[in-house]
Amino acid sequence: MTSDTEPHAELREELDDLFALVHALPPDETVRVRADRVRRICDLFAQVMDDAVEIAEHNRALKNTVKVGDRIIGRLSGIDTTKEII
């Protein structure tokens, strides 16, 4: 995960500003947006997606660790580990 939260806040502000600009427009309206603004917003999306993937992988690893730990404890305790508890 990225540790620099300040750029996220600035990018989120930029995204909110853009949303406010286009919110009341009809769907077929064309809006001109500077390329640097689009790049900053795309950067926010990329950072959020990278963070989401990292968190999902971390959560999956934690879930697998807990399952393996439960099975080991079950085997050592003589409990049937073929049934899934969770």
For the chain, give the number of residues.
Answer: 86
Q: Mean of the pLDDT values across residues 32-39? A: 88
Angle, helix 5-22 to helix 35-77, in steps of 10 degrees: 120
User: Tokens 């926010």 correspond to what residue?
Assistant: 44
Q: Mean of the pLDDT values across residues 24-49? A: 88
Mention every residue, 6+ apart, whose C-beta is less than 8 A from residue 21.
Answer: 31
11 touches 41 (CB < 8 A) = yes
The tokens of 55 are what?
Answer: 């968190």
Instruction: Select the more confidently predicted residue: 3 or 42.
Output: 42
Give residue 1's pLDDT band: very low, low, confident or very high (50, 70, 90). Answer: very low
**Whole-prediction pTM:** 0.57
Domain borders along the chain are: 5-77
What are the helix (H) ranges across 1-86?
A: 5-22, 35-77
**DSSP single-letter state for residue 85:** -
The predicted pLDDT at position 7 comes to 64
Q: How does the average pLDDT of the chain come out, rounded?
A: 83
81 touches 70 (CB < 8 A) = yes
